[in-house]
Amino acid sequence: MQNIDLYNGRNSREFNQHFDRSDPEFFSRMSNSYNDHDYGRKNASGLFTLILALVIISFTIGLVVGIKFAGGADRKIVDDKTMSAMQNLSSKVSDIIKDSSSMKPASEIYPKAEYPFVIQLSGEYSEADVRNVAQLLSTKGHTVIISQNNGKYRVFLGPYKNENDAKKTLSEISLYKQQDIATNAQIIRRI
């Protein structure tokens, strides 16, 4: 804008010979000429990706064929034990998921005689609030127990083998400032 003559609206500087002043579409045609360069770059990138994929595939095939022939014509690539384990894996996993009778109740996992202490958080929570509190505490590495009574939920941490472990956890959760979860929290003995 600094080279425009404000009286007649023309540039005060003369352009080079290659500049076409009479063609209003000069710049739009020039922008199309750069697309040829980008098109070539895209083709080169695609070609490079194709070559790289072919190299990886040929290397993998060469490795498998090399293993096969290095051990002789009778050698299997996958041994029978691994093959049977992989074939039976899906049935084993589906059996584990379907069989809920193998799950032990919490009273067997944490017996009261061995784990007598828990931390009870004060207050009762709604369903949405208890999810937030449980998520916060479990992401911090605490074991969370939720009990329901008439549509309200209580949150417990633990259980713990001794009172010192419970006190240590209580001091940790007192540092959490979210939702004032440690306010009036107390260590109680399991009944």
pLDDT in tens, 89-123: 777 776 666 655 556 676 677 888 888 999 998 87
At residue 118, the pLDDT reads 92
> Helix, strand, or coil here: 108?
helix
DSSP letter at 101? Answer: T
Per-residue three-class SS string for 106-154: HHHHCCCCCCCEEEECCCCECHHHHHHHHHHHHHCCCCEEEEEECCEEE
Beta bridge partners of 120: 156, 186
Output the pTM of the full model: 0.46
* Cβ-based neighbour number of residue 29 at 10 Å: 10
In 42-173, where do the E strands start and end?
117-120, 144-149, 152-160
At residue 32, the pLDDT reads 52
At residue 167, the pLDDT reads 92
Give 112 or 67, the one with higher predicted confidence. 112
CATH superfamily, region 106-189: Sporulation related repeat (3.30.70.1070)
